[in-house]
Amino acid sequence: MRRRISRRSFIAAVAGGAATGAGSLGLVIGRAQAGQVTDRDPGDPVGRGRGGGTGITDSDSGVGADPAGRGRGGGPRPGATGVTDSDPSDPVGRGRGGSGVTDSDTGPYADPRGRGRGGQRGPSANSPYDPAARDERCENNRRLYAELNRDGSTPESWSEGQLRVAEADLEAIGGAISMQRTNSSGNQQVQDRAWSIIAPIGPRYGFPITRSSDWYRLEGELRRQIYLARTSPVRAERMRQLQNARTNLAALGC
């Protein structure tokens, strides 16, 4: 038997259903909102924040990097790189990357801070090479230096030492000639002294000489040979290589 619905009962039924629906909708929305977080992390999408910590994901990288949502970065700061490396010398967020190690290297070839190569066989204070490579390069440069600095048989192949001796001999010849020229009285002791200076010089440069020889000719010949030594392109290149070997030995600390 159908019951007749009055106006009052109809309104009550509609109002009750609306209330029930609103309650269910609020429960759904509440649950949805409970799972959605929008934090201050610019790396998180809206409503998908990971929360916790500082709510910031910075640009840290490396072994000591900050976890997502827990960055210690922040806005631009003087010296901030956004990198936290494993270098205990670098403040957080100011890492300089590289190997993350600041070792104890010193000298012109020392490792930059944060890029140390460390280790027991690391570079020496005066060399960019490990000990084994450094010893080998030292030996090679010593051998080259000795070869380039050997005495030669011609002015174009004279060593540095031979040229210095020739220049000293030229000065000594001038002194002996001056002694002879001023010995107007013919003092024998002066003549003997002058001859003792000249006698060993002539044969050294392939010039036979006696007491009665023209000593000026010996002086002129030696001057010519010195000129050849100083202007020879072959010798100049040899001296350049010699200087390079000398510089390498000093740089390696050999």
**pTM to 2 decimal places:** 0.47
Instruction: State the average pLDDT for the chain.
Output: 74
Residue 107 lies in a domain: no
Round to whole Å and give the CA distance between 175 and 250: 39
- What's the pLDDT at 48? 67
Q: Write out pLDDT tens, residues 167-185.
A: 999 999 999 999 999 998 8
Number of domains making up the chain: 1
Residue 18 lies in a domain: no
Q: Write out pLDDT tens, residues 20-52.
A: 444 444 444 444 444 555 666 566 676 666 655
Q: Which range among 3-7, 55-59, 135-139 shows the weakest confidence by mean pLDDT?
A: 3-7
Higher pLDDT, 251 or 55: 251
Output phi, psi for 214, to 5 deg. -80, 105
Instruction: Judge whether residue 203 has pLDDT over 70.
Output: yes
Instruction: Judge whether residue 70 has pLDDT over 60.
Output: yes
Per the listing, tokens 């392939």 go with: 206
Q: Which residues, including other chains, have CB under 8 Å from residue 25's CB and lie 6 or more apart?
A: none
Residue 79 lies in a domain: no
Per the listing, tokens 């259903």 go with: 17
Output phi, psi for 107, to 5 deg. 95, 180
Residue 176 lies in a domain: yes
Residue 83 lies in a domain: no
Residue 208 lies in a domain: yes
Instruction: Judge whether residue 192 has pLDDT over 90.
Output: yes
Nearest to 174 by CA among 219, 224, 209, 221: 219
| Domain, as residue range, for 190 | 160-232
Residue 197 lies in a domain: yes
Q: With 0-12 CB in 10 A as exposed, 13-18 as middle and 19+ as buried, what is 108?
A: exposed
Residue 196 lies in a domain: yes
